[in-house]
């Protein structure tokens, strides 16, 4: 018998894929969601349902959760990892990029929560893990809209934790610093990307996706009566 079902959004690469591999090794059944379903299937994990889902589509996400629960039982945790980082100077950045970030990073995260929270409250058990960023705690150059989305994640997560704590449901915020993932590649400004890469080199390298996955699993594996409210992690030499 596999362990309880866990949902991971944005699971096709980076932190999401690393978390999926680690939880699968520990015997969990998984629902993996991303737009690139072929990347999910290439992970070839047992007891795993892979679905091409855009987290901004609430009905699509809810349908995938219902399908997975029909196969594996109730969702015990969700890792809301799907996100996009489009850095830019406010006077120059296309407003469509702001909208994309808020649609995915804020509305998509809320859609993930909504798809599982009712069942968790009813069962008096569950864990919501929201992937934010150090950029949800302080500001950075070229990050105006992105910081706005991640500050929102921090605020919503803490408010939700207060709301559902008496129902036995935990809410965890994971706030990584710079991580070696595809996230930076979404930025359209080559100058900003080059500057960001130089910053990463100056600090002697950044976190691996597996480092963040280990923090996620650590928080999840605490007894249900223990809530690790927030984990902030970064490369030791990262400043700020």
Cα 180 to Cα 208: distance, rounded to the nearest angstrom? 5
* Residue 42 Ramachandran class (φ > 0 left, ψ -120 to 50 alpha, else beta): alpha
Cα 93 to Cα 188: distance, rounded to the nearest angstrom? 9
Instruction: List alpha helices for 7-57, DSSP H.
Output: 14-25, 37-42
CB-based contact 207:13 (threshold 8 Å): no
Identify which of 154, 98, 107 has the alpha carbon closest to the alpha carbon of residue 9. 107
CA angle 112, 118, 124 (to 5 degrees): 120
CB-based contact 75:68 (threshold 8 Å): yes
Q: Has 218 been annotated as catalytic?
A: no
**Catalytic one of 146, 196, 218, 220:** 146
Catalytically active residues are 146
């Amino acid at each position: 018998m596999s362990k309880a079902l866990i949902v991971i959004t944005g699971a096709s690469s980076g932190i999401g894929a690393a978390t999926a591999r680690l939880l699968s090794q520990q015997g969990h059944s998984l629902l993996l969601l991303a737009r690139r379903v072929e990347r999910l299937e290439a992970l070839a994990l047992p007891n795993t349902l892979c679905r091409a889902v855009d987290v901004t589509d609430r009905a699509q996400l809810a349908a995938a959760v219902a399908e997975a629960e029909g196969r594996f039982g109730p969702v015990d945790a969700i890792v809301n990892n799907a996100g996009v980082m489009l850095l830019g100077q406010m006077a120059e950045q296309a407003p469509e990029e702001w909208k994309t970030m808020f649609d995915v990073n804020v509305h998509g995260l809320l859609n993930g929560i909504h798809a599982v929270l009712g069942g968790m409250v009813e069962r008096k058990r569950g864990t919501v893990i929201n992937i934010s960023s150090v950029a949800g705690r302080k500001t950075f150059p070229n990050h105006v809209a992105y910081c706005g989305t991640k500050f929102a994640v921090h605020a919503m997560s803490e408010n939700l934790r207060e709301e559902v704590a008496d129902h036995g449901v935990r809410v965890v915020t994971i706030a990584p610093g710079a991580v070696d993932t595809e996230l930076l590649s979404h930025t359209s400004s080559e100058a900003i990307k080059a500057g960001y890469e130089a910053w990463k080199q100056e600090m002697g390298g950044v976190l691996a996706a597996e480092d963040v996955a280990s923090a996620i699993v650590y928080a999840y594996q605490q007894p249900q009566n223990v809530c690790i409210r927030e984990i902030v992690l970064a490369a030791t030499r990262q400043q700020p």
